[in-house]
Amino acid sequence: MERLTTAAARNIFYGGSFFFFVVFALLVANSYMQARVMEQTNPISAEAERGKRIWEKKACFDCHTLFGEGARFAPELGRVWFKYGGDRDPAATEDTFKAWFAAQPTGTEGRHQMPQLHLSDADVHDMAVFLRWVAHVDTQNWPPHAPK
């Protein structure tokens, strides 16, 4: 009957650890390269950066999600740019966002209310540019959507 010796167990442990470390390092390198490709194909503008800062300052992630990250309390906003017209009529889409932000809270009974964020026209523009940028990021269909 064969038995696993201490030396064989040690070699399996070190060999397996080395193998999986190499696999991990290759996956990290691949992720880094893919992130650089995505960054170059969809560069962020100064307006979109300001919109992201507003997103963070107003804590929109406390209720909404982007790319599946956030509170999941309110709708995912990754594709909201397209929902309200998007690239067909960017000015009208931005006007829709401006009206939406101005109308909050709506007072609809039985629903949690989005707070009034008191955004200036410049802030709304920057948020619109940020949401447009987000909508154009190739997320490879993440987050998954339930079939309708």
Q: Please say if the pLDDT value at position 61 is more than 70.
A: yes
Q: Please say if the pLDDT value at position 144 is more than 80.
A: no
- Please, what is the average pLDDT of the chain? 91
For residue 119, give the nearest of 131, 137, 107 by alpha carbon. 131
For residue 67, give the nearest of 126, 135, 114 by alpha carbon. 135
Q: Please say if the pLDDT value at position 73 is more than 70.
A: yes
75 or 18: which leads in pLDDT: 18
pTM metric for this prediction: 0.77
> Is 100 in contact with 45 (CB distance < 8 Å)?
no
**pLDDT, average across residues 18-43:** 94
The distance of Cα 138 from the centroid of its chain, to the nearest Å, equals 10
The reported pLDDT for the residue numbered 41 is 87
Place of tokens 């194909």: 41
**pLDDT, average across residues 5-27:** 97
Over the stretch 97-115, which tens digit does the pLDDT of each residue have?
999 999 999 888 888 889 9
Is 1.10.150.120 the CATH number for 45-148?
no
**pLDDT, average across residues 47-66:** 96
**pLDDT, average across residues 4-11:** 94
